[in-house]
Amino acid sequence: MSPSRTPFEDSRVNCDLYSKTTHITRTKTVALAYSKENALNAICPYFTMFPLEYPSKVLKKHKMDKPVVLDPFCGRGTTLFAARTFGLSAWGIDSSPVAVAIAKAKLATCDIEAPLELAAKLILDINPAELPDTPFFRSAYHKSTLSDICALREGLLGLDDETDASSILRAAALGCLHGPISKHVENAGYFSNQMPRTYASKPDYAVRFWKERDLIAPKIDVLRVLRRKIERLAGLEQASPCPISHVLHGDAQSEELFQSISTVPSIVITSPPYYGMRTYVQDQWLRNWFLGGPDSIDYSAGPQLDHGGQKAFAASLGRVWKNIANSAASSESLHLYVRFGIIPSALVDAKKLFRDSLDESGVDWRLVSTRSAKSADVGKRQANQMKTDSAAAVEFDFHVERV
C-alpha cells in the first residue's frame, strides 16, 4: 500500500474490496485466523495486523518461563490475544485510539450478554444530540441506523468508567461500522452502505461510488448485527490474565509513558509501522469519529515514528528500544521479536534500517537471528487486499537479545 493513494488507486482498491468474492488462498500457515476459538482476535478487521501464528510461535517457545509480554506497537492487539491464550500477562502501547480500543477488547472478560445489554440501554436512553449531516453520512447510513450508531457513540463517550463490557461493545461497534452489504439484510454484518471492512473510504470517493451504482444504505437493526458479532466471541467469559488497563494510549517514544508499566517485561513481540507508511490515522478516520474524533478526515500526522528519512526513522525507533530496555532493567533477560518491513516505494534496505535502529538505542543488543517472513502478500494479510500495482513489501523476522 502506498503512503498516499491517488484517486485511481483508491478506485481500484475499493472496487476490489467491493466485489462479491474476495479471493484469499487458505493455507496451513493461516489456519489460526479461521479457528472459531480465535474469533475475539477478529472482533474488528484491521489492515496491518500480523498473523496470529507469529506471536503464538514465539510464546510457545518461552511459555515455561512465564514471561511478561510487551508490544509497543500493538495495533489491534494480536500479540495481546496470543499472550491471553497462553495465560500470560501482557502490555500493549499504541498511538492510535482506534488500535487501543480494539486491543483492549483482547484483554476483556465478561458475560456475552453484558455488552449487548449495555448497547440496548444506550440506544433506548439516548437521543443523540447531533447527527452528522454531510453527503458522506447521508449516503453511508440509513437515517435510523445512524441515529442508533450516534446513540452508542455518545453513550460510550459519556461513560464515567470503562468496563470490560464497554470495551467489548466499543470494539464490536468499530468492527461493524463499515463493510460490505449483505445480500439479505437479516444477515447483515455491518451497519453501512457498501464499504471496505478494514479501512474507511475517503468521503468524496465513496459518495461518487454509491451514486454511480445507485447503492442505497440499508436500514440495519444495529442490535441484531452486534449480537451476531458478539455471540461468536468464544472464550470471552474465561478470565483474562491481565486487565484492559494494560493497553496504553500513547507514543512508545515517550519515556514517561513506560512508567505506567508496573510489571517488568521480558519478551517483546511487535511489528513497527512500515518505513514510509504515514496514513494509519487517515485510513481509520470513520472509526476515529466513532471514538470522539471529527466527522471529517484529519490529515495531521499525529504522534508517530519520524518518516523524514532513514536516519530520523532509525533514531525514533531506537528511542523505543531504549525505553523498553530501561523498563526491563531488572529483568534477567530481554528478548525482542520484531517483524519489520518497508513499503516497496521506499527503496530501503530493511535489514540495515533495523540494525541502525538498534545502534541508535545505545543499548547493547545481540542479533540472534534474521529470517525472511516472505511478503505481505503471503497468507491472510489485509495488505493483500490493499495492494496497488507495486509489489508487496518483504518483511523480516528479527530475534534480538539484550546482552
Domain-located, residue 72: yes
Range of the domain at 243: 7-402
Q: Which of the pair, 303 or 14, is modelled with greater confidence?
A: 303
pLDDT for position 391? 58
pLDDT class of 29 with cuts at 50, 70, 90: very low
Confidence check: pLDDT of 217 > 50:
yes
88 part of a folded domain = yes
CATH of the domain at 127: 3.40.50.150
Residue 39 has pLDDT above 80, yes or no: yes
Residue 87 covered by a domain: yes
Calculate what percentage of the chain has a pLDDT beyond 90. Answer: 75
Summarize pLDDT for 56-104 with one digit per residue, the tens.
999 999 999 999 999 999 999 999 999 999 999 999 999 999 999 999 9
What residues contact residue 95 under an 8 Å CB cut-off, 6+ apart? 249, 250, 251, 252, 302, 303, 304
Has residue 2 been placed in a domain? no
Rounded to two decimals, the pTM is 0.88
Cell matching residue 116 = 449487548
pLDDT of residue 299: 80
pLDDT at 28: 44
Give the pLDDT mean for 146-157.
Answer: 98
Which is nearest to 339 in space by CA: 72, 66, 106?
72
The mean per-residue pLDDT over the stretch 311-335 comes to 96
Q: What is the per-residue pLDDT across 266-306, written as a single tens digit (0 to 9) for each?
A: 999 999 988 877 666 789 999 999 999 999 998 876 667 88
Residue 188 domain flag: yes
Q: Is residue 151 a contact partner of residue 126, using CB atoms and an 8 Å limit? A: yes
**Buried-state track 333-346, b at ≥16 Cβ within 10 A, e below 16:** ebbbbbbbbbbbeb
Distances (CA, A) of 376 to 1, 8, 127: 10, 22, 44
Cβ partners under 8 Å of residue 109, min gap 6: 164, 236, 237, 238, 239, 240
Residue 8 has pLDDT above 70, yes or no: no
| pLDDT band with cut points at 50, 70 and 90 for residue 250 | very high
Q: What percent of the chain has pLDDT over 70?
A: 85
Question: What integer is the mean pLDDT of 319-332?
Answer: 96
Of the candidates 114, 118, 74, the residue with the CA atom closest to the CA atom of residue 97: 74
Residue 177 placed within a domain: yes
1 located within any domain:
no
Number of domains in the chain: 1
Determine the pLDDT at residue 387. 38
HSE-up (13 A, CA, CB side) for residue 182: 13
